[in-house]
Structure 1
């Protein structure tokens, strides 16, 4: 421990420090998943474990399990047919193209979270030059106008965290965390801010 303390400096990751503190307290991280079981099925290899967890998560998060209050999208479609359809003739402030200033404001409101599959994080986006930002802006405006997301933005890296005091051998004892593209989330931040401002002004 003394040897580790002598090496701590400004560049030492905080996670590494907390890891040492937890080990001193007798808490050790378990990076490997134990053998998982679901009914009579047993998952031993990483591939089998991933498949079993995926099936468990699909079942738990199925729309069939949603309560009436959680069926917002379905209820909206039923109560207001066509309200979610794209309208080509709308020309108002809400549908105006994004601006560089709006995108920069969205970055300022973004938190420090783990990036998705592309490994591009908010900090990197915050250091883009104006020229690079304009290219990203072209992409956002095209997505906004066409209403179509790039395929890679629909992919996520899913990591699982075991729920406190749950049986580690059961796939339902884990909570999935989806790490999606920050470039995509970045655009959503801007759209959310613009919508909020539009509603307040209206």
Structure 2
């Protein structure tokens, strides 16, 4: 059954029973010898879905005491996942975006569940963005010339971009000829850099080079995605080692004996001062206002988005309905004393802010034209909390 000239033995019977009991596995061997002495010692098993068009053969030259075998399977290369779509903020129709949020907020009743309220707000923003903002075209995931890219190639590509802008601004024959010369020179530099890297790679081959390393280099030269090695070979052990060093160096045991005794003596007074401060009401212990939200939005800018794909620009152009919905979510989070689970899974730890000193004891800043120091302190404290929550929301 296994097309072997050797006598039947226990191992062969075991393999034959396995092939009969597992119908979706096929044997590809054609009976050709895989050993220099004529034995069929190397078996190639494949699933029945791939066995129909599979090709199996013995390599004529790659040999030691066994012959190398080649197996070709009719499998298309895996398609890399496309990057998640992004909205083209530069072509956004903010009037239509705000109208969609106004229509949603008019009939919306915020639920008691903070998590559900945050999900509803995110879904409403995404729906409005899909309606009013076009999608960006998918970009390439990596550069195909990364394996030979160097400073010289970068410099000539930069020159090509400059001359293209020059020709686009002043399209005349002289600029066209100059652009063609620069492009030709950049191609020569790229070809020379590619040839040098190719020769450098080939020079590393020897009789000890593994086939795996060789194929990895071939895929690299063909423009495949670059490998992403780990930042450290043993990240968990390294993190624990650094944490242990930091803990030992930051421990109070490193302080002198008299300093530790002073800390122990002052600890009860400090705990009592913290408890008293927590019981004192502060002027900023109140829900966020629309004015604080608008002040925080004016200072915001787009950063990298999370899985929901909502950038800060959408929050800044949400309009009255979007501001009301976001403010309701922020105040619900403030009342609950925690953030929605989608906002980095963090809990707000309420820490009482220091009370401002009387205006007479505060130094007056130079050039202050209006507003007391007390009001400035209140606005600053409230805005900082809104900024934090806005960053979590984003």
TM-score range (shorter-chain normalised) is: 0.3 to 0.5
Q: Which has the larger radius of gyration?
A: 2
Question: TM-score by structure 2 length?
Answer: 0.25
Question: TM-score by structure 1 length?
Answer: 0.43
